[in-house]
Amino acid sequence: MVTKKEGILTSAASGDGYTSTAAQRTIVDFKDAIQDYRVTSLPVLDMFAQRYTTETGGDIDITVAKQSMVLEEIDEGTTPAYQSTDLRNERVSVKEFGIAVGVTRRMMEDSRFSEVEMAMNEARRAVDRHITGHAVHALFGMTSSVYGTTDVIATTTEANAELFANFDHGTFYAKTISGGSRITDYGLYDAAAFQLMGPNAGSHYFNSADTVNGSTVANFALNDLTEAIELIGAKGGNADTIVVSPSHYKLLLDLADFTTPIEAAMGGVKSQSSAAYEGHNEHVLSSAARTGLVGSLYGMNVFVNAYVPNTRFGVFDMSIKPLAYVERRGLTVEEANPGFGIVGSYMSMRYGMKVIRPESGVIVISS
């Protein structure tokens, strides 16, 4: 049973609409309370994305420079032929996402805690979850009606993947690299050589060599990592980070040669007979719990994140941000009073994401 209780924001205390009343002062306090939420920290973007800003909406073009100029021998005293810069354009779709946060007037009046603060904190967490989910879906090539992302699978070809109409969130290099607009040759490798690398005609999306668990749960083979190292390294990168799901982390822990503590970063291995041994491991494990950095394989840092699907994991060169995060408008908050005893606000962002560095990541898919 609900008992009616009128408070300072009911019509009994609303005043004449001109003079200051308790109800009006409460609304002002609410508006002041939401100002701190105009800017939100988004750790996933700091790790994976290069930020851009724009004043226009819709589709945004980003220009990426390709290696294009070469040194050539010239006769003494002559001027070499002028060379132009080779550019690659990536189109990013900018869309608006938002959430309406509402609290009842009675909640504000009667609660022994700040309902407004709780609602705004939950809304901010919703923004963090949304951005993290969007970035992971774009990075790992997963389909989502919420974010508008499309599945990238082992059979996806490069000719299909590079078309904006098919994959407006972009992809890493796909199957059968043809040397089109996205490819950049490095070292002694050309497009034909890239096609011979890895288990899937040069694609940065391939099925795991581990086939024991099936295609619907986590698979992880150390051979997957060596394939990824080759694919990224041949294009001028240096694989340094592995991002896995909790299910993949369990598989890693079951491998005898995977150790959770990162001993090298902590000053070397401590002897078990050393007095500092237990405290050393406790420090490393507590740090892993805070950051998600849980270990090292082949010199690459291993991060675990619950948003990573249990059917895919990624290997990246984190010195190159694979994602572009284009922001037309950051997180903004506008006060709203829709009536029916509800007082709330609208939070919205206008942004877009796309993989623009196709050489810097490899996605391993459960086979």
Judged on CB neighbours under 10 Å (0-12, 13-18, 19+), 333 is: buried
Q: Which two tokens stand for residue 268?
A: 């070397």
What residues does 297 pair with on adjacent strands? 300
Q: Which two tokens stand for residue 4?
A: 């009616």
List average pLDDT for each run of 10 residues in the chain, which is 367 residues long: 49 52 50 52 80 86 87 92 89 90 69 68 84 94 94 95 92 90 86 93 94 82 94 94 92 66 44 46 51 83 90 94 91 71 76 94 93
**Is 214 part of a structural domain of the chain?**
yes
**Is 157 part of a structural domain of the chain?**
yes
Do residues 242 and 313 make contact, with C-beta atoms less than 8 angstroms apart? yes
**Is 8 part of a structural domain of the chain?**
no
Judged on CB neighbours under 10 Å (0-12, 13-18, 19+), 49 is: buried
Backbone angles phi, psi at 301, to 5 degrees: -70, 140
**Is 51 part of a structural domain of the chain?**
yes
Q: Which residues does 296 contact at the CB level (< 8 Å), separation at least 6?
A: 259, 262, 264, 302
What residues does 96 pair with on adjacent strands? 350
DSSP letter, residue 143: -
pTM of the predicted model over 0.85: no
Q: Which residues does 174 contact at the CB level (< 8 Å), separation at least 6?
A: 152, 156, 157, 158, 160, 161, 162, 203, 204, 205
Do residues 176 and 201 make contact, with C-beta atoms less than 8 angstroms apart? yes
Query: What is the CA 367 to chain-centroid distance, rounded?
Result: 24
What residues does 335 pair with on adjacent strands? 345
Domain that holds residue 188: 23-66+86-245+305-365
**Is 175 part of a structural domain of the chain?**
yes
If one counts the domains in the chain, the total is: 1
Q: At 307, which amino acid appears? A: Y
Q: The CATH number of the domain where 170 resides is what?
A: 3.30.2400.10
- CA distances from residue 237 to 69, 135, 173, 262, 359 in whole angstroms, order as listed: 20, 21, 13, 23, 7
- pLDDT score at 215: 78
Residue 289 CB-half CA count within 13 A: 6
Rounded to an integer, what distance in angstroms lies between the CA atom of residue 222 and that of residue 238?
17
- pLDDT score at 261: 42
Q: At 97, which amino acid appears? A: F
DSSP letter, residue 266: G
Of the candidates 190, 307, 181, the one whose C-alpha atom is nearest the C-alpha of residue 248 is 307
Do residues 304 and 136 make contact, with C-beta atoms less than 8 angstroms apart? no
Q: Which residues does 355 contact at the CB level (< 8 Å), separation at least 6?
A: 138, 139, 169, 170, 171, 172, 322, 323, 324, 361
- pLDDT score at 289: 52
**Is 152 part of a structural domain of the chain?**
yes
Dihedral Cα 67, 71, 72, 77, nearest 10 deg: 140
Tell how strand 86-104 and strand 342-355 pair up: antiparallel
Q: Which two tokens stand for residue 131?
A: 């951005």
Q: Which residues does 173 contact at the CB level (< 8 Å), separation at least 6?
A: 158, 161, 182, 183, 194, 202, 203, 204, 231, 235, 358, 359
**Is 78 part of a structural domain of the chain?**
no
Run of H or E residues at 272: none
- pLDDT score at 342: 63
**Is 164 part of a structural domain of the chain?**
yes
Rounded to an integer, what distance in angstroms lies between the CA atom of residue 120 and that of residue 37?
8
